Amino acid sequence: MAVTRPRLLTPGPVNLHPAALQALTRPQLHHRSPEAAALVRGLRARLAALLASRGEAVLLGGSGTAAMEAVVRALFRPAARVWVPVAGKFAERWVEIARAAGLEPQVTEHPWGAAVGPDDLPPGRIDGALLTHSETSTGVLHPVRSLAAAVRARAPEALVVVDAVTSFLVAELELESWGLDAAVSGSQKGAMSPPGLAFAWLAPRALERLRPSGYYLDLSRELAAQRQGQTAFTPPIQIVEAVHDVLEAAWPQGRDDLARHWAVKAEATARFYARGAELGLRPVPSREEARSPATAAFYLPRGWTSEALSAAFAERGWRVAGGQGPLKGRIFRVSAMGYFTRAELERAYNDFTAVLRRS
Amino acid sequence: MAVTRPRLLTPGPVNLHPAALQALTRPQLHHRSPEAAALVRGLRARLAALLASRGEAVLLGGSGTAAMEAVVRALFRPAARVWVPVAGKFAERWVEIARAAGLEPQVTEHPWGAAVGPDDLPPGRIDGALLTHSETSTGVLHPVRSLAAAVRARAPEALVVVDAVTSFLVAELELESWGLDAAVSGSQKGAMSPPGLAFAWLAPRALERLRPSGYYLDLSRELAAQRQGQTAFTPPIQIVEAVHDVLEAAWPQGRDDLARHWAVKAEATARFYARGAELGLRPVPSREEARSPATAAFYLPRGWTSEALSAAFAERGWRVAGGQGPLKGRIFRVSAMGYFTRAELERAYNDFTAVLRRS
């Protein structure tokens, strides 16, 4: 049966790109077929090119968190000291993953809503850093390029890993030229595809230092298989095809098409902030320069609960996101990361104003 | 664009059930919505009921291998001695996973094509067993019920874990009443859905002994979230919905509908063996009683290479599977595990005969 569902203004999952939806309607593909091998090869090459990397991208069946853990275990030994600046829920996830893998995370705590700066690097020996580019829980874009520079100035051999889950395809990001050794993302964010496929990027320095670790999340095992156009285990092949087809349809020239897209997404998010300013809403990011193009986050205006606000948007056919961790019940988030027609986005802005004008 | 692809006679992935394909065409669902929570709860309850278990099923974003590893790490400590009878590629995978987790697998080796028996249990202390029900690489159904009985007679506290990847929904299987403590499967086999979602079943004894392990594959973390209708991380929600809808459409009465389905699948597979017998093909399972209903496996007749046979089936619009490990290039496999109309299956049998008659 046909099903009506709210359109998603959430920062992932997002409204699907038409090419993704179309890919899902095809007959089941066998992942050991030549057609599947071409998809795996093509997707890996496109992913690496989109981050301007001479390294390699690895696909993993799972969520972005699976790729976060796989990269940590592949690149660091137990007891490694890695800097994790924490100013949101996804940075906290790095800490949890690092601890579960036996690392010794060097955690610096920052206000949720603030951007971390290079001066926040703690003193002492450092073997690496686990950074968050777009912190989805606060709507802050952290300056990972300058953070990486600070880490490398202190410890040239340290490996810098970036959570690009909501920044990939949405904010400017380059791997080696920005001093980054690895990044991770997932299918259900900027790639406008269903959840279920994670990406790990390994720059040449990370490739050299890859070590086997575990089994299902072992990047070295996956890399060996994927260099042959295979995967080590049965991949979520529909989602591989969806992401492949979206990248081809949306950015046929790869990176050359991205700058315009970043501008579109930044503008789309800025318009939510502009509407918020008209309504007197207080943004979560403490400074305008710190706003991520992936999501706009606002404190709930007086008189609104998170549930009431969600219900008011739902009445108009939209789903928005609440807060997480210490911001639960205190903020709401909207995102233009997914696929929208121009008319649909206009409707989103107008409904945003209509709902919140009641405040 | 519309795409023509071979219909799958492979033992996973398989041709999708129409309910799965339909689920994939819906707008993106947010996994934190009440609708998604209902899907997670409904699917978990159905999964447990289909194995006649009073325990719990846990969903994991990943392939069946992800669930294999998650269960091993959740139930056994490093240095645990677990019996792994090996007579095929997927039993070998248990050994690899057990070693990667620091266990001490007690491996017994058996001819590929043979069924393991209770007398094969090796002497000495045992903390558990990692069994394979339907060994997809050989087409053999191992008698896990009697193997479990042997393990429990030796060591009542030992935990018995079963790879039910290709037996779930295809062969008779019960958890507690068969003496089994845990089982794993995946979406792209008997559930006739896309790959990308794994299932782990934990009987009450296993639930009591669950320990946190790792991060993404930590069953205790997932269980805590899934008891609330949530998942710990973003799930492949399209595939959750696909499997949910297939189970509801194909077996609305749950287990009461299964016996007939097992008979249908057993008969469908037996007909491949009957065609093979007419053609003088040698089955891989050494005894007729050992044949799995999930896949029929034959040695390649003289004069055929694996590639030539695959090409001959491909010409008629079918994809078949070759051999794995020591059987690579020596056998081929066909399966009626997926969704087929009656007419389509008849065409498959006739094409099977037509291709192989040339031998």
Reported as a single tens digit per residue, the pLDDT across B71-91 is 999 999 999 999 999 999 999
Stretch B132-137: mean pLDDT, rounded? 98
- Facing B28 at nearest CB: one of A14, A217, A238: A14
Q: Which of A8, A220, A234, A334 to mutate to test the interface with B (most CBs of B within 10 A)?
A: A234
Per the CB < 8 Å rule, is A235 touching B15? no
- What is the tens place of the pLDDT at every residue in A18-51? 999 999 999 999 999 999 999 999 999 999 999 9
**Chain B residues within an 8 Å CB radius of A1:** 22
Q: How far is B234 from chain A (nearest CA, A)?
A: 6
Q: How far is B342 from chain A (nearest CA, A)?
A: 18
Whole-number pLDDT of residue B1:
52
Domains assigned to chain B: 7-13+257-357 (3.90.1150.10), 18-256 (3.40.640.10)
Contact indicator for A115, A142 with CB cutoff of 8 Å: yes
Band of the pLDDT at B359, cuts 50, 70, 90? low
How much is the pLDDT for A350?
A: 98
Nearest to A234 among B30, B195, B215 (CB): B195
- Both tokens of residue A4? 């009506």
Q: Which residues of A touch B8 (CB under 8 A)?
A: 28, 30
| pLDDT at residue B3 tops 80 | no
CB pairs under 8 A between A and B: 173
* Band of pLDDT at residue A2, cut at 50, 70 and 90: low
The angle formed by the CA atoms of residues B301, B302 and B304, to the nearest 5 degrees, is: 75
Judged by CB atoms closer than 8 Å, whether chains meet at A21 and B25 is answered as yes
Do B311 and B329 form a contact (C-beta atoms < 8 A)?
no
> In terms of CA atoms, which chain B residue is nearest residue A30?
B13
Contact: B13, A26; criterion CB under 8 Å: no
pLDDT at B156 over 60: yes
Q: How far apart are CA B243 and CA B39, in angstroms?
A: 10
In chain A, which residues have their Cβ closer than 8 Å to the Cβ of B96? 215
Residue A156 vs residues A61, A75, A107, A205: alpha-carbon distances, Å? 32, 15, 20, 11
Q: Which amino acid is at B56?
A: E
Predicted local confidence at residue B351, as pLDDT: 98
Contact B61 A66 (CB under 8 A): yes
Helix (H, G, I), strand (E, B) or coil at B112: strand
Please report residues of A whose CB lies closer than 8 A to that of B65.
215-216, 233-234
For residues A267-287, one letter each, b for 16 or more C-beta atoms within 10 angstroms of the residue's C-beta and e for the rest, the string is ebbebbbebbeebebebbbbe
**Nearest Cβ partner for B195 among A7, A195, A237:** A237
Look at residue A358 and tell me whether its pLDDT is greater than 80.
no
* Cα nearest neighbour of A245 on chain B: B1
pLDDT (mean) for A333-358: 96
- Give which of B164, B160, B110, B103 is closest to B132, Cα–Cα: B164
For residue A126, the distance in angstroms to the closest alpha carbon of chain B comes to 23
Return the residue in B28, B65, B136, B333 with the most chain A beta carbons within 10 A, the one to mutate for interface testing.
B28
- pLDDT band at residue A4 under the 50/70/90 scheme: confident
Q: Smallest CA–CA separation between A119 and chain B, in Å?
A: 31
Q: What is the mean pLDDT of residues A176-199?
A: 98
A62/B216 touch (CB, cutoff 8 Å), yes or no: yes
Question: Residue A261's pLDDT band (boundaries 50, 70, 90)?
Answer: very high
On whether ipTM exceeds 0.95, the answer is yes
Cα–Cα distance list, B83 to B102, B104, B163, B353 (Å): 14, 9, 14, 41
CA distance A317 to chain B (A): 13
Q: What pLDDT score does B4 carry? A: 85
Q: Tell me the torsion sign for CA atoms B1, B5, B11, B17.
A: positive
Min Cα distance A302 → chain B (Å) is: 25
- Binding positions of B: 333
Strand B128-132 vs strand B159-163: parallel, antiparallel, or unpaired? parallel
Annotated binding-site positions of B for substrate: 333
- Which DSSP symbol is given to B3? -
Question: What are B268-295's pLDDT values in tens digits?
Answer: 999 999 999 999 999 999 999 999 999 9
Q: What residues of B are in contact with residue A4 (Cβ under 8 Å)?
A: 27
Q: What is the pLDDT of residues A211-234, one digit of tens each?
A: 999 999 999 999 999 999 999 999
CB–CB contact A30 B13 (8 Å): yes
- From chain B, pick out residues whose CB is under 8 angstroms from the CB of A216: 62-63, 65-66, 69, 217
Q: Do B14 and A28 touch (CB under 8 A)?
A: yes
Q: Which residues pair with B206 in a beta bridge?
A: none
Are B79 and B103 a contacting pair, CB within 8 Å? yes
Q: Would you state the torsion angle of the CA atoms of residues A285, A291, A297, A298, taken in this order, to the nearest 10 degrees?
A: 50
- Closest CB to B196 among A14, A61, A188: A61
How far CA B150 is from CA of B79, B129, B179, in Å, comes to 22, 10, 10
Q: Does the annotation place A333 within a ligand binding site?
A: yes
Residue B141: HSE in the Cβ half-sphere, 13 Å Cα cutoff: 19
The minimum CA-CA distance between A15 and chain B, rounded to whole Å, is 6
Determine, for residues A21 and B21 on separate chains, whether the beta-carbon distance falls below 8 Å.
no
For residue B30, give the nearest of A27, A31, A319 by CB distance.
A319
Distance between start and end Cα atoms, chain A:
38
Average pLDDT, chain B: 97
3-state helix, strand, coil in chain B (%, to 5): 40, 15, 40
Between CA B325 and CA B337 the distance in angstroms is 22
Cis peptide before A6 (omega within 30 of 0): no
The beta-carbon neighbor of B195 closest among A7, A65, A235 is A235
Residues of B in contact with A12 (CB under 8 A): 234
